[in-house]
Amino acid sequence: QRQGLSIIERGFAYKALLDAKNRQGYRSDRDNETSGENRQKYSARALVAEFFGVTKYEIWKAVNLTQLIPELSAILEDTPKQLNLACADLIADYNVESQRAFVEICSIVGYQINKAAMQHITRKCPPPVADRQAIFAAWREARDTAEKRLMAPPRKISFDRKQFAPYLDKFSNDREIEK
């Protein structure tokens, strides 16, 4: 009944409704036979999405975020700049022990996990199970790559001379313009 639900609270509500819809009409005495329940399971997400007025994709994303451990859920809700939704969605695919490594990474002061670093980690340590040390090593690699990219010399800038024509008469050659 509250209006300001977080994405994780909405995910738990969606999940509860999906589970109820999937159980509805289930007959345990006909486990070996096929009945209409398979069609019902596939349409449950569409029914829940229609009920809440959201897309099936939003339902899937919110339900996926319910797999986060409480520490990561708290970081996501309290300090979204430290852990954004895109990264949290990728972290939710990992098991509990692997997620604890991400809690330690998020607790480092002055550092936020970004999507590029998270994608690098998932390439190096694919979910659902990843070694804690491997996650830290992949994170350090991603961080070093980002720092090297920031320290690289700037690329050459090109511009349209017609637009800057009034300002070009102040320079005698192209080297002065580049400076």
Residues of the chain with pLDDT > 90: what percent? 28
The span from the CA of 90 to the CA of 169, in Å, is 53
The reported pLDDT for the residue numbered 113 is: 85
**Structure token digits, residue 164:** 């800057």
- For 120-161, what is each residue's pLDDT tens digit? 999 999 989 999 999 999 999 999 998 898 888 877 767 777
Crossing angle of helices 7-23/56-65, nearest 10°? 110
Sign of the alpha-carbon dihedral angle for 15, 16, 21, 22: positive
Our measurement of the distance from residue 53's CA atom to the centroid of its chain's CA atoms, rounded to an integer in Å, reads: 22
Predicted TM-score of the model (pTM): 0.69
- For 84-127, what is each residue's pLDDT tens digit? 888 999 999 999 999 999 999 888 877 788 899 999 999 999 98
For residue 151, the one-letter residue type is M
The span from the CA of 176 to the CA of 179, in Å, is 5
